[in-house]
Structure 1
Amino acid sequence: MRIVGGEWRGRRLIGPKAEGIRPTSDRLREALFNVLAHAYDDAAEEAVVLDLFAGTGALGFEALSRGAARALFVDEGRQAGLLIREGIAALGCAARARLIPRDATRLGPALDQPATLVFCDPPYGKNLAPAALTAAASGGWLAPGALVLVEEAAAAGPVLPPGFSELERRGYGETAVTFARFAG
């Protein structure tokens, strides 16, 4: 796994050593960030990023590499926490990155600035995205108008709870990514 664009392009990220963490592939990250750059006015630039079910942190680190102001990584897994901490140290971005070790579906009140760009990449097929986005919205984690990307299995049903409007859904093989806005 590597950063595919921006300041840290080509830098390697440490991948998971065991089952249970499914990082977003380099190819899919590159495709998503191309969409963000060209269809959504370079949404990563100066963004406050919330990376829910962060896993390796690849999406948040990619956003930081491409000019995001800050990234908040949320994952309750022990291995995920270690991988994200190692990534923060290796990339020297501790001033712009924060690990929040908790269940993304039970966030509670916001611990930082509201996010303007959200990545939600839960384990496929468990319908966790609506619960996580609802928790983020009710806890004040999201800025009004925040752009939200939900990665899920292509066969999954609706992934957005009330208060979010779908902008588009793009298929990438067995994966679908829903782009949405938080009404706020």
Structure 2
Amino acid sequence: MQNKHAKRYNRPQAQQVRIIGGAWKRTPLPVLDALGLRPTPDRVRETVFNWITHQIDAGWDGIDCLDLFAGSGALGFEAASRGARSVTMIDTHPAVIRQLEQNQEKLKAGNISVQRADALASARDLALRGQRFGLVFLDPPYQQDLLSQSLPLCKGLLAKDGLVYAESGMPLPFDEAERPDWLADWEPVRQDKAGMVHYYLLKLHENEA
């Protein structure tokens, strides 16, 4: 049975990712190529983490992160490498979880928690339990409409002035005439495009924060 949260992509992928910065800079981490995982490209991650570092005034040690569709773990491991206070990684596929745990052990990453669970259900549960995060990563499979389901849940997950990184295979329609309800509470802090990857750093509108 295909994992509904496994990241599928239509081009060959390398079987490892490389951490861009921080304590584990240049460290390669294996990726389960057989599952067709789609790690966020190095160039995109470098740009995004520069954005985030600027937004938080380099204060990574005060940031709790949630990597909701962890997959390869490229985003979560990058945040942990840069000194995030905690990183919670969520995925539902057993093989993905095993690989994440092996990479966590390789890095001796005490600030990372790996959990096997459904992403949407976990987001609801974490919000109900009152857990809040300064940064949430949303990099779900592009073709399954998971971004429109998961982004609204982040309203109940963000700490004050928290940020969401969102990645999509299509541009997000922020124009007022086209904006869907699930984007209504959000505004882009930064955005860019690399190939077919559209990526955004988002925050809640001030009246929603």
In the TM superposition, what is the alpha-carbon distance from 1:11 to its structure 2 partner? 1.2
Matches within 5 A, 1:161-180: 161-180=183-202
Flag structure 1 segments of 5+ consecutive residues without an equivalent: none
Matches within 5 A, 1:41-120: 41-42=57-58, 44-93=60-109, 95-107=110-122, 108-110=124-126, 113-120=131-138
Flag structure 2 segments of 5+ consecutive residues without an equivalent: 1-16, 175-179
Does the 8 A contact of 2:136 with 2:154 survive in 1?
no
Distance 2:151 2:172 in 1: 16
Q: 1:28-61 deviations in whole A, cap 9, x for unaligned?
A: 2112112222355336453111111110111011
Report what 1:33 is aligned to.
49
Distance 1:49 1:24 in 2: 17
Higher helix share: 2
Q: 1:127-172 deviations in whole A, cap 9, x for unaligned?
A: 21121223343xx432132111101114565695443333232111
Report what 2:7 is aligned to.
none
Distance 1:96 1:162 in 2: 33
Does the 8 A contact of 1:151 with 1:176 survive in 2?
yes
Structure-2-length-normalised TM-score: 0.76
RMSD (Å), alpha carbons: 2.3
2:159 to 114, 135, 143: 143
Does the 8 A contact of 2:92 with 2:118 survive in 1?
yes
2:147 to 124, 129, 132: 129
Distance 2:80 2:161 in 1: 20
Does the 8 A contact of 1:106 with 1:135 survive in 2?
no
Does the 8 A contact of 2:51 with 2:190 survive in 1?
no
1:2 to 4, 10, 18: 18
Q: Secondary structure at the match of 2:148?
A: helix
Q: Secondary structure at the match of 2:72?
A: coil
In structure 2, do the counterparts of structure 1 residues 38 and 64 end up closer, same or farther at CA, with 3 Å as the change threshold?
same
Greater C-alpha radius of gyration: 2
Does the 8 A contact of 2:168 with 2:197 survive in 1?
yes
Does the 8 A contact of 2:189 with 2:201 survive in 1?
yes
Distance 1:174 1:6 in 2: 27
Seq. identity, %: 31
1:19 to 29, 35, 38: 35
Q: 1:164-184 deviations in whole A, cap 9, x for unaligned?
A: 333232111210112111344
Q: Secondary structure at the match of 2:29?
A: coil
